[in-house]
Amino acid sequence: MSMLEIKNVHKSFFTYTKPRLQAGIFHRPGARKVTSELQVLRGVDLTVEKGDVVAILGPSGSGKTTLLRCLNFLETADAGQLTFDGETFDLAKASRADIARLRKKTAFVFQSYNLFRNKTALQNVTEGLIIARKMPKEQADAVGMKMLEKVGLADRADYYPRQLSGGQQQRVAIARALASDPEIIYFDEPTSALDPELTGEVLAVMRQLAEEGMTMLVVTHEMGFARNVSSKTVFMENGVVVEQAPSHEFFANPKEERTREFLRKIAHTE
Confidence of residue 23 (pLDDT cuts 50, 70, 90): low
Q: Is residue 170 part of a domain?
A: no
pTM: 0.91
Q: Is 265 within a domain?
A: yes
What CATH number does the domain containing 189 carry?
3.40.50.300
Residue 88 lies inside a defined structural domain of this protein: yes
Q: Is 244 a domain residue?
A: yes
Q: Mean of the pLDDT values across residues 87-116?
A: 95
Q: Is the pLDDT of residue 202 over 60?
A: yes
Q: Which residues contact 76 (CB under 8 A, 6 or more apart)?
A: 70, 91, 92
What is the extent of the structural domain holding 101? 4-105+183-269
In a domain, 192, yes or no: yes
140 belongs to a structural domain: no
Q: Is residue 43 part of a domain?
A: yes
Strand partners, 46: 6
**How many domains does one find in the chain?**
1
pLDDT band at 15 (very low <50, low <70, confident <90, very high): confident
Domain-located, residue 168:
no
Q: Rounded to whole angstroms, how far apart are CA atoms 142 and 121?
A: 13
Q: Which residue, 20, 15, 19, 63, is CA-closest to 42?
A: 63
| Interval 50-74 mean pLDDT | 96
Provide the β-strand partners of residue 185. 107, 216
